[in-house]
Chain A
């Protein structure tokens, strides 16, 4: 995982590439092991049509799915020692991200809709800067797409996204209020889910 400063620095460098593509979900493999933005971060990929997606899951596993990893840290002092002693791990393991497509940019205008054509495999993926994220979050129409995702932990993704975005906003409480009102409209018939969500984003 990378911190905010690294994020700004890396914004012009691709963090990974698309290895599975559909209209609604993408899988992005990180170029470096464990080098992934946090859950709820905004990712962009594509050139002519920039597709925005939000990270809903981060997975690190063996590249060869037929070979499982085994425990190696029994005699090590720390996890770093294990990686130093076994440098091949960096080539045998990989970090991949599941993202939910939430919008696209075409001719400089951002739409909170599913793009008509999904990104290509091997399209480079970039983390969005906080400014880009704020620009994308000027309105919260994309929350509709997130809410209707069939991911069971989607509420956690929404909370992570809103918390991290609001931290960089010039007026965090206004941003949360607008987002909250959009959620309230989306979840007007599910008070319990709504109040839980609101309580979590207000923290």
Chain B
């Protein structure tokens, strides 16, 4: 017979390990889906995890009695089943008949069903794990404090540990590690011993061990850049490295070449070079001085034609292709900032061989940090600042619509402006798209910066050069001189490019070598530099106003008002391909919403709703679910500015929120919030969210320059007060319902779970449409509704 404290201790440890594994599994899945598909599935994974937790409440509603009668065995089985399910889920998701492709979702119906099936497959381990946690809370409710503590500490630890493990182990193998952790923990609880224990141990350990030793191949979408590169003759993956920044792979093939929009006057060989991909998306070639002549024949070289550039800064330098152009043009002091350490290693290797061959060595500094953080802390001035390229050849069908691009916001451009010397310029190159979007938004952002600085005629400070495929914008700190304009014209003539914007440009020179079907592009560009630009922003079928830190989705263009026109011109079936990323999130909302209703709420109709305060329960528990998830999603997006990496950001925010709100939940049971101050607590939450809505951006901006590791502590300090208080309403509400309206208890849990699931995705949609401030204000509004529900339905004198 095990002493009770020892038994509770073992169960608490098991819950801690399970909680860590579940959060870790969530983050690993986000990484895996970024590799095989694209980034926008991050919110889907959060939703699926919440679906599991929500459904576990429903499971326990129907089976708690049966499970409690055989508590130890049930807990053991659930722990082991969670581990097995993690491995099986990953394996199944990669099977040919099940795996989906983002591009094929709208070319036939089968992939939509496959997407739904993928949710359900990933849902299983979460519901099993959450049921185990819930069962321990129900079965050992007298020790809820220790169990809560284990749950929240485990969750927080899991988020941190997995980030460390991602540096050491590839994501598909990590699932095996997590599986094994759950299974071994479960084995500790199998009652008795003997043959059953041995067989259960052997069978359930076999699966994750096999998965670790022979992980399922991750089937990357055939439409990803790396898939097409690997189809080339002689292509092979020469090197790969995993990290929280993603999977970096170097592909080697004699047919891989890079010459982005190179002038048709370039007649030399375009040498083959290895190429770097991150999560299967093209990042750049492994650069060398051989690429300099090619890059010298692209529109990006316009800045060097204007004037000599001694001091050059490259932000998000990637593989450094542009750096070799700067070196070729004689730049003497070059600074490259690259946040991804694996990519930085590639860059440093390329530079090393260059430096070794040269006698006159320019000063080259490569920094591994967040580009925005560097701008916030740097005090130097530059002759040229180069931003990363925008878009891709032919476009990406808007798959990156929901990716935060904090280097392409008004605030970022303003910070670059502050780093320009008196004659310094910033350049940014984009791929031409049709209908025109990228060039317009870039110009709109530049014009916004100039307007903020009191520039009356932005045209004097802006130049643009257009080739057959790319356009490069130049923003100068001072007016562009006549001399510089003539040099740009000479450069264009030599390269057979056309100037697109100059203060004294004529219509004829805009299309001398690269004609367009009409002059709509130039009309739009001219309208943006005119005082009437706001009317264009309102009337154009695409959103081209500047992106901001509050709404940093540079590649999100589609507007509801423009869809009808697009459908008419291009066909309804083609409309999703303008912005696949956004459309997929809408589809996800629909699918997880239906799944949540079916799996969480619908079964509850089987037991009926015997409660009295149905409206109050519905409003209260749905509102706090919405409010909590909205805040969480905004924080994850906002702290992307800190970390420049979604996994780090999600890990930091999720771990801090879980620990802090878990602490709050625990404290709520000690302080008797229900009878005294729940209304006050809800009011404080609303106030806290409102302050965060407007103040968070300032705090993040002000602390951007602190070192990397310290940023994790900063996140803790910044958000912990609010998160602790946000932990109060749910347990307080449950206690209220238990006391006053016990028949509504399962419904309270189910409604909360259902709305949490939908809110994770809905928050992203609102962020796109109304910015992060809009989401936070919505969160405040949701807690306001909860307050009203409390005041009108639940606030009655307590019964002794």
A-B complex is real: no
